[in-house]
């Protein structure tokens, strides 16, 4: 029986579950692979304690330094589950440089070190697999990589962050955003420091990985517009649902134009109003969803748990299985290329918009707001003034017909400069 040796770096939440599943599923994996996947080394700052907790046999070599393990462990497959950036980058480059395949669930590593990793993998012929880095246990990357090989992916619209989706859907059920975040933290869906999630940057890193997989090129995570849900309040969610028939979701989107050889990519992450009968509106709580539009297969929807030990470790194990199969003589996995992607101008994306303003009840205030939108050619679809509030400043909710984002942003800035309008506001894209 052939053997493939596995080394795992990082014995945290995902690493421990990966090691546990690797051992638990050993017989099934052997049966399906025709070879044995054997754990030969582990690395973690607390490696002794973690190895004891996992009851690892003495022959599994323990390292406190993951980079030293990548440099010297006698393994065919190196799994990176450290989190962070610098140590994972050095770990992956070291292993790839030795011609050893790397499996990672680290979206930040992929999003920021894509060209370096791609070059190292190409130079040595080693594979880099990363199914766990986007949408946890949902096998979206493999589907994008293989299942549409004879098709063309036209666009992706995804709910890629479970924390923000949990907050937005709990707001639909009457909670404030702050209370929903506290609840998500108590239930373990959200990190203590939730800034990466709330700002949309977590979703942006995942979008970068998806774009790279579809095109083979590098979409820098800081190169496209990213807005999170910090300014969204429960009243926006309620208004969208009750008056506009829409749900608020943090949507990461990609549109591919140009040719396959020179793709032109439109990318963005923003709080978005989604029609209630749209498939993305059905993704609730901590769930993730990805709507893929293709030229031949039409629309496909992927849905499931986007994080957590079980779903992510399942994706890591799938990567191990597929990479092992390739090493044993199956089809080589496609490797990412280092070429940067050409981006469409950030203001060119066209959609309708929702704008909630706090307006002091002065004569002519609404006319000035409408005028600012009109000057940019953005036409109003609906306008609602919440007089029930009874205060000096009243909320005004505006929706617009489709317009280029750049024109809307100019109008928004002009509106926020008006004396009668408070800086406190909420702007969202409208889908469909
Ligand atoms: N959690 C999820 O639901 C989820 C979902 C998808 C993808 N991921 C990705 O999976 C990876 C692992 O996540 P996790 O939740 O398992 O993280 P975690 O619980 O923090 O585990 C990481 C482990 O690696 C150790 N470590 C980190 N840097 C090290 C270094 N330089 N040297 C030695 N040990 C080091 C940590 O030790 P210390 O604790 O002492 O630092 C910890 O034991 C991350 O890239 C994450 O983005 C996680």
Question: How far lies 282's CA from each of 165, 187, 210, 242, 275, in Å?
Answer: 11, 21, 22, 16, 10
Q: What's the angle, vertex CA 348, arms to CA 345 and CA 354, rounded to 5? A: 135
What is the CATH code for 150-303? 3.30.360.10
Active site residue 206: yes
Catalytic residue among 187, 206, 220, 246: 206
Its pTM stands at 0.88
Q: Is 44 helix (H, G, I), strand (E, B) or coil?
A: coil
For residues 290 and 156, is the Cβ–Cβ distance under 8 A?
Answer: yes
Residue nearest to atom 8 of ligand 1 (CA): 105
Q: Is 349 helix (H, G, I), strand (E, B) or coil?
A: coil
Would 2-136+310-327 and 346-430 be classified into the same CATH topology?
Answer: no
Tens-digit pLDDT string for the chain (432 aa): 889 999 999 999 999 999 999 999 999 999 888 899 999 999 999 999 999 999 999 999 999 999 999 999 999 999 999 999 999 999 999 999 999 999 999 999 999 999 999 999 999 999 999 999 999 889 999 999 888 888 999 999 999 999 999 999 999 999 999 999 999 989 877 777 899 999 999 999 999 999 999 988 999 999 999 999 999 999 999 999 999 999 999 999 999 988 878 889 999 999 999 999 999 999 999 999 999 999 999 999 999 988 889 999 999 999 999 999 999 986 545 566 778 888 988 889 999 999 999 998 778 899 999 999 999 999 999 999 877 656 778 999 999 999 999 999 999 999 999 999 999 999 999 997
Contacts of 169 (CB under 8 A, 6+ apart): 284, 285
- Parse the chain into domains and list their residue ranges: 2-136+310-327, 150-303, 346-430
- Encoding tokens for residue 429? 């894209």
Cα–Cα distance, 385 to 387 (Å, whole number): 6
Superfamily of domain 346-430: ACT domain (3.30.70.260)
Q: What's the angle, vertex CA 240, arms to CA 235 and CA 241, rounded to 5? A: 100
Ligand 1 pocket test target in 7, 9, 10 with most atoms within 8 Å of CB = 10
Q: How far is the CA of 197 from the centre of ligand 1 (A)?
A: 17
Superfamily of domain 2-136+310-327: NAD(P)-binding Rossmann-like Domain (3.40.50.720)
């Amino acid at each position: 029986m052939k053997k493939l040796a596995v080394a795992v770096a990082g014995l945290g939440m995902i690493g421990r579950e990966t090691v546990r599943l690797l051992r638990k599923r050993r017989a099934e994996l052997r049966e399906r692979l025709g070879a044995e996947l054997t754990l030969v080394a582990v690395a973690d700052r607390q490696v002794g304690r973690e190895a004891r907790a996992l009851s690892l046999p003495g022959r599994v070599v323990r390292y406190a330094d993951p980079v030293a393990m990548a440099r010297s462990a006698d393994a065919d497959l190196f799994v990176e589950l450290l989190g962070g950036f610098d140590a994972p980058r050095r770990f992956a480059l070291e292993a790839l440089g030795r011609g050893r395949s790397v499996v990672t669930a680290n979206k930040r590593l992929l999003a920021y070190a894509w060209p370096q990793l791609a070059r190292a993998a190409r130079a040595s012929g080693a594979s880099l697999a990363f199914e766990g880095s986007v949408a946890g246990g949902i096998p979206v990357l493999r589907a994008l990589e293989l299942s549409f090989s004879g098709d063309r992916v036209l666009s992706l619209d995804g709910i890629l962050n479970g924390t923000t989706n949990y907050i937005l859907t709990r707001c639909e059920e009457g909670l404030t955003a702050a209370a929903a975040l506290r609840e998500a933290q108590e239930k373990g869906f959200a990190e203590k420091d939730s800034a990466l999630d709330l700002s949309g940057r977590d979703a942006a890193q995942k979008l970068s990985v998806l774009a790279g997989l579809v095109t083979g090129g590098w979409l820098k995570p800081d190169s496209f517009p990213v807005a999170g849900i910090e300014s969204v309040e429960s009243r926006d969610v309620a208004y969208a649902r009750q008056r506009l028939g829409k749900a608020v979701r943090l949507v990461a989107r990609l549109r591919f134009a140009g040719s396959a050889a020179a793709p032109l990519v439109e990318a963005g992450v923003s709080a978005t109003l989604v029609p209630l009968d749209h498939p993305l509106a059905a993704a609730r709580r901590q769930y993730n969803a990805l709507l893929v539009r293709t030229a031949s297969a039409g629309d496909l929807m992927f849905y499931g748990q986007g994080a957590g030990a079980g779903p992510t470790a399942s994706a890591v194990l799938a990567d191990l299985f597929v990479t092992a199969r390739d090493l044993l003589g199956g089809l080589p996995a496609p490797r990412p290329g280092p070429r940067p992607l050409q981006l469409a101008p950030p203001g060119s994306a066209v959609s309708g918009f929702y704008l909630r303003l706090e307006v002091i009840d002065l004569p002519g205030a609404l006319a000035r707001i409408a005028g600012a939108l009109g000057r940019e050619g953005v036409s109003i679809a609906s306008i609602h003034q919440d007089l029930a509030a009874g205060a000096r400043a009243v909320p005004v909710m505006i929706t617009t017909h489709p317009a280029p984002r750049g024109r809307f942003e100019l109008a928004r800035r002009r509106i926020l400069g008006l004396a009668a309008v408070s800086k406190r506001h909420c702007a969202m894209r409208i889908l469909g």
